[in-house]
Each structure stands twice: as structure tokens, then as C-alpha cells.
Structure 1
């Protein structure tokens, strides 16, 4: 492990350590600490494993709850503890997210995770584990899920594949780029043909920049807004506000399509807590505006995105108006699924319109 170079990342109050990376041929753990959806949707899962083997030259190792839906929080935590403790495992990747991983955290062994740090990849419900590792001083990776990024229908998104490859194997500095084409329309995994064709793509409209034109570098913190809301309510896994001084906040919303009022209120509560004011820059993911349960036409999608982004701008105008804020970044639940180092060094350069990360 090594810590981020303060020469590169400014006067940071909190410095997290980057785990060592695996090499070609390494074993990697495949876990389901959120939901064991590979049991009922094997097609995208198996496709993701195949690409991990053939395109990335890695050896996936499954654990007892990886394909078992409804496993207890203690059992899922046991797999996490075992994967981190195993010296033959070079990284830990998640199959998918879920909706109750916060219950897993109490069963984790922080001494094991701290003593045997590994690159951990996941989004959505895995915000819980990324934040847990952040509190232990370990950089993790927001992105890289097996069933969505690796198991994407048709082919891996080239932009996402490039980012996850860099995040898996290097500690390089990497520039995130606006997507020329994106999707937020899911394939129905109940359909056996879902892995054959690519998702419907839409023309990317670029990032939206707000706030002062300056450059901010700091360790990142954030994840899925709805999951962070759980952590804020429970409180156990949230530090004192000063721990986030100078960090780059990154947030995105899920396929549950939270409305603009909810998004504003979560940010409002972060502000009233004195937390939102601590960040030196903020990145907001492209809002996912379509789901299998709510298949919205283009006009409703556009209205939803506009309302959410106005809610975000309203909250930051009230609580932290003098920082660079960029919207529409492809992180989280939309495609391409770019990778952000959770706790790693991120530079938001509003003078040139660039975002760079250190993997």
C-alpha cells in the first residue's frame, strides 16, 4: 500500500492509502454483499465472469453467498472478511448492488480489512462498504460491477472498459471524459436475449459546470445519494464534519428515481448538519431517469433530469455556493459506468473543464 502523495493532492487533512493492485492471472473475489441476484439472473453474471477471464486475464473466485439470494447479513459479511483475509486474492469485485447492505457492516471485522487491504469495486448499495473502507483509511473504487459494467449486453462499453482496466491494474492518473453517447435504459434480465443486444443509446450533451472557475484537488467521498441518506440517518458510519474538509463530493441517484424534493432534502440535511459546507468541489452523476418499473418517454425523462439538477443547484446555492460543481458525469447507475476512486485523489479543474482521478 502507499498513501496519496501530498505533493500532488494539496494540503489534505485526510490521506487514504491505496491498496496494491493485482496483475494478469491474479485471483479476484466475486461477492454479493448486497443482493445475490446472480441466482435468479445468471446470464449477465456469467457474461461478466467470462469477460473478466478472457478480456482481463483474471481468475474469478466465488464465495458461498455470491449466488445465494436472501443470505443473512452475517453470512455476507463472512464472505467479505474471508475474501480480504485470503492472501491469494488480489481484488474484490461485487456482482451487483442491493438494498440492505448497511446491515452487513456490523458483522465486518475492521481489523481484518485494515490488515489486508485490497481494491474493492462496487456501486449503489456498495456505497456502504466503500464508506466503511474510507473510515478505515482505505481507498476503494466506485464502479466495476460484474452484472452491469462487465455483463453489459452486446459488448462492454469501451469508455467504461478503459476506465475499469486502469482502475484494476494501475495507480495511474486518469482523465474522466464526457460520454459521446449514454444510456439509462435497462435490458430486462428476465429475457434470455437481454445479453445479446446493446442498450439504447442517446447523444451525450456534455457536462454542466457551475460555480467559480478554479481547480480543486482532494480525496473523494460520496456514492449513491439514497444509500448515503441511510448512513446519515443511522449516524454510526459518518465522521465529524471536519473529516470531510477539502474533499471532493461525488453523488448519483439510482433506478428508484428519487424525486427532486427528496434529493433537495437530503442535501439540505447535509447542510444543516454542517457537512455539505466542508467540500471543496462537487460532482453530480447523470440522473438515471428510466427504469423497468417506470418506463418514461423522452419528455418526462427530460423534465425529471431538469428538476433534479435544479434541486441540486438550489441546495449548493444555499449551503456551499463558492465551489466548482459539475453535473451529468457518467458515474453510477447510467452507462457508461466510469470508475471513481473512493477516497483517492480527484482533481476538478473548472478552468479547463476537466476531471482527473488517481487510481
Structure 2
């Protein structure tokens, strides 16, 4: 396939669409959503425009697709930002007018279940941005994290290389969105151990491909947006897991299936996001969280050792369900310099 192209970037004062391609959670939890809209206006100088299904729980796939069509087709809208993820975006894909999206390319920001749309756009030749949902990163309690804010500004407004850096502290434990006290202060953070490198003896540069592991498994099962394995030769794979906390064996089985399909060996480098290791359903203690992350790393290495033994890997990159979060370009260039221990993305 041809190399994806970067859509034109918005400028302060431009309108940006706010959509909910997965879930209408802004209707249930307005506090983080309104805070995210406020920061888009006041901190980023953008004009957020909501679409009809943005706050509608259980909107049909057709309604959510119609919002995307309207947002991409409107010449006044200069970027499209997801409110949040979910688990139902795969049902929207058959309703999308691919030619409309192809002929009206715009930067799209989102992660988690938005992996669906990001990979569809990549297959249409459009670079998208894995990260930056309105309710989560823009609506973070207390204040935007400086590292997240810097990456978001670079992805939204600039073009060119952007060097990532490991966080010195990260947050995993959340507070309820329906409690006003949640937004009175920033989330608690704990020391982060930096990146962990595996087979870091080379430099790899190529377009980025990947997303949330669970969503990729659904796409593989449904046979959607996954190209023949050889189409990914030389790409940089990036993966992350969600607040559903899939166990190490589940992650291994998904990667094993990717390996059996011939996918894993196509990627000479992998960026693995710092594993989300706490949820309201599974409130793990600090030692349990550390063990959860370590077990996931071991599971990923098992799959690589069997199916992609030459692949370089970097663990605990601050992408996906992490705080702070850096934005990863889907289809955009990623350079992984093992000897120098540096990662550079191109926004």
C-alpha cells in the first residue's frame, strides 16, 4: 500500500469535531467531558463542536457513522477528536463511507476502541493519532499532565519529528467521575521505572501500526481492517491494554494468534505501552500492580521469542491507557534507536 499522508493540521481558532464513535459516556459523566471541552477552548484555543450522538448512550452504529461523515465532510472542521473509547466501534465500520473519508482527510485523535477507526483511516492512506480523548486526557482532574499536554500540542498543531521521553512518575489508580471531589486535585502518581529495552542493538524506522490489543483481536476475528501480513513488513508495532486488565495468558494468546497469522515477524520493533493495572472492578494493590505488569511483559516476550525472535521491543512506553500519555502516529513515522535508547515519532 502507499504511504499514508498527514492531513493538514488545525490552528488556534479553528473548529474541531467532538464525536463518540464508540460510547456516549459524555451523557452519563458530564463533568470530565465539560472540563475537556473547556480546556480545548481555553488552553488550546480551539472551538469544539459537538455532534448529535456525542452524549447519546446506545446510539446506533448508523447514527455514530453519520456524525463522523458530517465531521469529516464539513470544511470548517479541521480535526476530529473522540470523546472516549468503549467496545462497540467495530459495528460502525460497515456504515462508513470510505470514499468520503478518503477525500476529506483530517487528523483524528483517539485511542482504546478508537483503534478501529485509526486503522481504517490508515488503510485509506490517512495518518491518525492514537491518544488524546476529550474526557480522559483533556478532562484530566486537577490539570492536564504537562507531558500529555506537550505531546497533544505537537500532534495537533505541528509537523515533524518529536522525541518521546520516559515519564518519571505515572498514575494508575482512578477516582469516580460522578464525585465532584475527584476534580479538585490531580490524580495520585507513583515513581515510574522508565523504559525497558529488549534486543536494543539496532535502529528501526518505519510507519506505526497497532493499538489496543483487545480491539486488534476483535478485528482479527471479524476479518476487518487487517491487511495481508506482508503489507506490514518494516512497520513499527505499538500495543497497549485497557482497564479491563486482560491477564498475561490472554495477551499471550492474542499475540500467539498474530504470530500464527504471520503478523508478528513483519515488525522489526515493538513499543509496548505501560500496562494499565488497576480498575474499579480490580483494585489491585501496588505490589499486585507491579506483578501484573511484569507478568504481561513476560507474556509478550514469550510470543516474540517464538514468532519474532529478532524484533526489538521497548516496554513501559507511556502510550494508551497511561497517565501521562504520549500520542503515537498511526501510519506516521516512528524511529526506534536501540543503541541510543531513543524513540522519535513524526507528527
Asked if 2 retains the 8 angstrom alpha-carbon contact of 1:181 and 1:201, the reply is yes
Q: 2:259 aligned with 1:271, yes or no?
A: yes
Match of 2:23 among 35, 38, 44: 35
Name the counterpart of 1:83: 71
Name the counterpart of 1:190: 178
Q: Aligned to 1:18, what secondary structure does the other structure show? A: coil
Name the counterpart of 1:343: 331
Asked if 1 retains the 8 angstrom alpha-carbon contact of 2:31 and 2:178, the reply is no
Asked if 1 retains the 8 angstrom alpha-carbon contact of 2:152 and 2:327, the reply is yes
Q: 2:340 aligned with 1:352, yes or no?
A: yes
CA distance in 2, matches of 1:349, 1:113: 34
Name the counterpart of 1:117: 105
Q: Which residues of structure 2 form unaligned runs of 5+?
A: none
Q: 2:4 aligned with 1:16, yes or no?
A: yes
Asked if 2 retains the 8 angstrom alpha-carbon contact of 1:143 and 1:339, the reply is yes
Name the counterpart of 1:8: none
How far 1:172 moved relative to its partner?
2.1
Name the counterpart of 1:166: 154
Name the counterpart of 1:232: 220
Name the counterpart of 2:199: 211
Runs of 4+ in 1 over 4 A off after TM superposition: none
Q: 2:87 aligned with 1:99, yes or no?
A: yes
Name the counterpart of 2:55: 67
Q: 2:256 aligned with 1:256, yes or no?
A: no
What is the RMSD computed on CA atoms of the aligned residues? 0.8
How far 1:14 moved relative to its partner?
4.5
Q: Deviations over 1:222-266 (max 9, x none)?
A: 000000000011113210011101000000000000000100000
Alignment of 1:129-208 (within 5 A): 129-208=117-196
Asked if 2 retains the 8 angstrom alpha-carbon contact of 1:101 and 1:128, the reply is yes
Matched residue count: 347
Q: Aligned to 1:48, what secondary structure does the other structure show? A: helix
Q: Aligned to 2:323, what secondary structure does the other structure show? A: coil
Q: Deviations over 1:54-102 (max 9, x none)?
A: 0100000000000111100110001001100000000000110011100
How far 1:334 moved relative to its partner?
1.2
Q: Aligned to 2:64, what secondary structure does the other structure show? A: helix
How far 1:170 moved relative to its partner?
0.8
Q: 2:7 aligned with 1:25, yes or no?
A: no
Q: 2:302 aligned with 1:302, yes or no?
A: no
CA distance in 1, matches of 2:312, 2:2: 20
Match of 1:58 among 46, 54, 58: 46
- Give the alignment's TM-score, normalised by structure 1: 0.96
Q: Aligned to 1:17, what secondary structure does the other structure show? A: coil
1:53–1:47 CA distance, 2 compared to 1 (3 A) = same
- Give the alignment's TM-score, normalised by structure 2: 0.99
Asked if 2 retains the 8 angstrom alpha-carbon contact of 1:222 and 1:228, the reply is yes
Asked if 1 retains the 8 angstrom alpha-carbon contact of 2:122 and 2:331, the reply is yes
